[in-house]
Amino acid sequence: MPRIPHISNFTDIEALSHEPEVEVIWTATPARINAADAVILPGSKNVIADMAFLRKHNWQIALDQYAVSGKGLVIGLCGGFQMLGKEIFDPDAVEGHRRECAGLGLLDVVTRLDTKKVVQRSDGTENLFHTPVSGYEIHMGKTERGADAQPFVRLENETDGAISESGNVFGTYLHGLFDSGAFRKKFLEYVSEKKGMALNPDIERPDFWRVKEENYDRLADHFERYTRVDEILQVMGLDT
C-alpha cells in the first residue's frame, strides 16, 4: 500500500492484516510492487496533494505497468478511488489551493469535490465476486463513471464505485469493504488462485462487522458494571 502523506481511514485494511496468509506492506516507493498480489490505495484527506506525492515517487508509471501486466488487482478506497480516475476537480478549494489535477487514469471516472460531505451507512452487492458488502461512506464530492467503467457496488437505491474493462482495477467509496467476511474470502481466493495456491479451508474468516459489534457490547457491559453511571449523571445535572 502506498504510504501517502494525508492518509485517512487506514483501518480499512485491518481485517486483511489479521489473515494469516496475508502480509500488508506500507511503502513510500513502488520498488516492491511487482512482487505484490494486490495494490490498495487508501483514503486521503487531500487527494490532489497525494496525487503529487504519487507522481514524485514514480507510482504513476509503476501502477500503470502493474495494471497492464495483469499481475494483480489495483484497488482504490474512497480518496484512493478518486485518484484512480482520470481527473480530480476542486473548484471550491475544499482541500487546498490547487483546483484540479490529472488522476492515475486507471479508471474511466472523473471526480468533482464540493463543500457537501456525504456521511452514511451503505449495504449492497459488489459486482466483482457478487457477494454482499457493508460499510460506510464519508467523503467530499461526487465521482461520475464514463462509458468504459461499470459500477462496483449495487446499493439499495444507487450504485457506487467503478470497475475497469479489464476487471483488475476497481474503486469504491465504501469504507470497511474488507470487513465483510464473504467479500474478503472471495478476494483472498482470487489472489490465491492467481498464485496457483489454495486457501486453508480450516481457517475461520469472520465478518468483522459482527466482531466489532460484539466487542462494543462487551465494552458497554464492562463500562456499565464498573462505572457509577447514576452518580455521573447526577453531577452533570442529567439525573432523572
Q: Return the active site residues.
A: 78, 175
Closest CA relative to residue 2, chosen from 65, 69, 77, 70? 77
CB 131, CB 125: distance < 8 Å: yes
Question: What is the distance between the alpha carbons of residues 42 and 39, in angstroms, rounded to a whole number?
Answer: 10
Name every residue whose Cβ is closer than 8 Å to that of residue 43 and which is 6 or more positions away in sequence: 7, 8, 9, 10, 12, 77, 78, 79, 80, 139, 175
Residue with cell 479489464: 166
> Greatest CA span in the chain, whole angstroms?
66
**3-class SS at 109?**
strand
